[in-house]
């Protein structure tokens, strides 16, 4: 599970704080024009790669909808 909290939206870039499994937190920046992202590697590498895949896929979905919620929980099984 990943919890997202919107920190800022400026120009083409949104910044979210992410909290993985209620343990580790970090920040991700997503440019919704270029679809490029920047994430703090040291926080995400502790977890399986699927966490990063889910995180980026959800940001791309937000971008497609042009909606960036203040808070969101990504859960899967």
Range of the domain at 30: 2-74
Mean pLDDT of the chain: 90
For the residues 44-57, what does the mean pLDDT come to?
83
| Overall number of domains in the chain | 1
What average pLDDT score do residues 32-58 get?
83
Q: Counting runs of H as helices and runs of E as strands, what totals does the chain give?
A: 2, 5
Beta bridge partners of 38: 29
Going by C-alpha positions, the residue among 55, 13, 15 that lies closest to residue 31 is 13
Give the model's confidence band at 44: pLDDT under 50 very low, under 70 low, under 90 confident, else very high: low
Q: pTM of the entire structure?
A: 0.88
């Amino acid at each position: 599970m990943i919890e997202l909290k919107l920190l800022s939206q400026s120009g083409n870039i949104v910044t979210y704080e992410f909290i993985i499994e209620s343990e580790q937190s970090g920040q991700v920046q997503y440019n919704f024009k270029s679809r490029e992202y920047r994430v703090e590697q040291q926080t995400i590498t502790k977890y399986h790669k699927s966490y990063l895949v889910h995180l980026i896929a959800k940001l791309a979905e937000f971008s497609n909808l042009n909606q960036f919620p203040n808070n969101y929980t990504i859960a899967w099984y």
